[in-house]
Structure 1
């Protein structure tokens, strides 16, 4: 049943609320689950779907978690907004890594970045408030906005600009209902990284018009070549009082399953979000928080090694994808995703099928080449595929080679 049909029903007829019934399943997690199910059934599927490092969490972080398990202090409830020592360490880590000086009272520790994003939007948005969303976007952003009764407004960039939006595009999307700009660099799903000049121009535009900014910095340490990460409230300090920074340990320390993220912002907004969390989930797992404390207090040696591997894979996947006729893949400068345009393949016959869109093309690739990719529809831009290169070098080459062989048949 569609969301529209659900909304038209009476309250007694409605089994699922219209708000929650309208939410789509995470496309990236769905693709990853399907790939894993096929593998479990004996199919040699190679998955490019999930956005998580293929490395183990560093030993010193695991050891901190083991020690926490034996500490009775962690067997009880702790403050809903996060362990005080972890909030202090996050503030210190933020100053160290981006130059952004904040107080522990400005930090909210959450169950991963997703909770930080939702609670931040919930604290900022009233019904009908608009959030300007550079597109392609990560699948969770618009759903979190809608759950908070906000309205996502897409601003689309394509491969011709390296998937970066301009101030002119943002201004064209601004209306009297605009309240928040979502800003993400490095980007999931495209790997785009904005230059300091672009960050400054966008930040000053937002400040000029009194907009809030939610900026997701989860990939801050995964940049390549000459690209550099720049934290928006550092580049444009006048935004500090209307900026929320989201981050976490998932990507930097290979801790996706530990579920520790955070939001940093003005004290009143962080307090409001913490109040929400106190009723929604209470504190994050104490063992995971102890592990995160070890992570953010330690050095960045582990991410340096991962970044070296990701950089190598980045160059390999871009070269191989661009060897496929009908595919155009800009070189990503950050994160660990390639986002090729496959518009040149749509409508062509591939083993008796003519995929009309990237959803159908992804299905053909999965069924015929046993390779799992995520279609661009999940990120707001049909005609593209997202491939995570956070997998082993051999699997990466084998997976793209299968795609090359299959798609060479397109005619």
Structure 2
């Protein structure tokens, strides 16, 4: 019997990042000494004050259904955060809380896109953007960016790919996987272009708190009211507060967009975890000192990783301005033979590193660019030193 399955579902590519991370964890479970540079989550524990609030929520029996779009107390805390940190003035009717930022993105795209609409995405991209677009029946339109321009797309790039079907652009700053951060002037230009062409902006700002070297994060929706009306700002608790497993994300947008998103969520997942919502209130309004400490360690790790990579023949990278990833250019090694294996692609190189060096990285093809691999520095400095040393030894043969 041949099963007749969804064409859209069959057209979705599995997440290479999750696949590689899962493989690395499986190897570790078997006692294999693997250095995992594929992880997309902080290695820090959730701060104690946040964990305590979650425990208190359980003790207070706050364990029942909430409003499907989130509790009012958390929405108010999000509004205060957006006002203080991002100069964004929203009411609770402009906020929806979801099961992680990825879920917020899914809801937003489902609320706005129709089959045949086109969504502009810069390459390298986070692996889920094109796949979520395809789930809606819309079409991802990819812009190739250059390392020389810090992997950012320009107005010329946007004009080159825009058609009458263009409905949205996806902006991710700070960026996964490149770590680039768009400047205020760049965001002004992109926002004005979107308004001129009546195109929505999905602004994924999940790495907002992770910027370095006095680089300023700017929310594109804060530039003016016209841009804000077309922008869906996505954020969440996972990266900044080391709360990946708590699964809380949120979106801020025009109330008409939020209303449709809430309707979709009410018929798919209903409310996010009640316990996680109350813990998230504490994260937003409580002591922020742990964020500063984490950032200091990320800077130290980043600087070591970048310097070490650039001292390995055949590898190079730019210093990321945010997030916790480094895109490593290995194009000089293409078609080279390492320990009997020929490197024809980023997947080849990643497999060699995992099999021979026991180092897990993500092949750049997962992000749309086959000349790179992505390394995460969301792991200890000792692990980074050992992992980079293993990579260098493998390349040297």
Q: Which structure 2 residues correspond to residues 5-154 of structure 1 after superposition, within 5 A?
A: 13-72=2-61, 74-154=62-142
Spell out, residue by residue over 1:246-280, the C-alpha distance to the aligned partner (whole angstroms, 9 max, x if none): 00000110000100000111111111111111010
Corresponding residue for residue 370 of structure 1: 358
State the secondary structure of the residue aligned to 2:341: coil
Corresponding residue for residue 183 of structure 1: 171
1:401 aligns with 2:389: yes
State the secondary structure of the residue aligned to 2:316: coil
Distance of 2:64 and 2:24 partners within structure 1: 38
Moved more, 222-231 or 391-400: 222-231
State the secondary structure of the residue aligned to 2:67: coil
Distance of 1:66 and 1:243 partners within structure 2: 35
Corresponding residue for residue 266 of structure 2: 278
Distance of 2:385 and 2:182 partners within structure 1: 29
Distance of 2:234 and 2:2 partners within structure 1: 39
375, 387, 391: which one pairs with 2:375? 387
Distance of 2:144 and 2:286 partners within structure 1: 38
Corresponding residue for residue 293 of structure 1: 281
TM-score (norm 1): 0.95
Distance of 1:300 and 1:148 partners within structure 2: 37
Q: Which structure 2 residues correspond to residues 208-247 of structure 1 after superposition, within 5 A?
A: 208-247=196-235
Distance of 1:173 and 1:246 partners within structure 2: 24
Distance of 1:268 and 1:196 partners within structure 2: 27
Distance of 1:234 and 1:241 partners within structure 2: 10
Instruction: State whether residues 126 and 150 of structure 1, in contact with CA within 8 Å, keep that contact through their aligned partners in structure 2.
Output: yes
TM-score (norm 2): 0.98
- RMSD (Å) for aligned C-alpha atoms: 1.1
- Cα distance, 1:20 vs structure 2: 1.1
- Cα distance, 1:377 vs structure 2: 0.5
- Cα distance, 1:64 vs structure 2: 0.4
Distance of 2:29 and 2:5 partners within structure 1: 32
- Cα distance, 1:342 vs structure 2: 0.9
State the secondary structure of the residue aligned to 1:220: coil
Instruction: State whether residues 187 and 335 of structure 1, in contact with CA within 8 Å, keep that contact through their aligned partners in structure 2.
Output: yes
Unaligned segments of structure 1, at least 5 residues: 1-11
1:260 aligns with 2:248: yes
Spell out, residue by residue over 1:145-200, the C-alpha distance to the aligned partner (whole angstroms, 9 max, x if none): 11111111001112111111111011101111001011111000000011111111
Distance of 2:80 and 2:3 partners within structure 1: 48
Distance of 1:256 and 1:339 partners within structure 2: 22
- Runs (4+) off by over 2 Å: 12-16
Corresponding residue for residue 327 of structure 1: 315
State the secondary structure of the residue aligned to 2:111: helix
Moved more, 230-239 or 259-268: 230-239
Distance of 1:65 and 1:130 partners within structure 2: 41
State the secondary structure of the residue aligned to 2:119: strand
Instruction: State whether residues 200 and 236 of structure 1, in contact with CA within 8 Å, keep that contact through their aligned partners in structure 2.
Output: no
Distance of 1:214 and 1:228 partners within structure 2: 19
Unaligned segments of structure 2, at least 5 residues: none
Distance of 1:363 and 1:236 partners within structure 2: 47
Distance of 1:244 and 1:42 partners within structure 2: 44
Structure 1 pair 236–401 and aligned structure 2 pair: CA distance change class (3 A): farther
State the secondary structure of the residue aligned to 1:66: helix
Distance of 1:225 and 1:95 partners within structure 2: 24
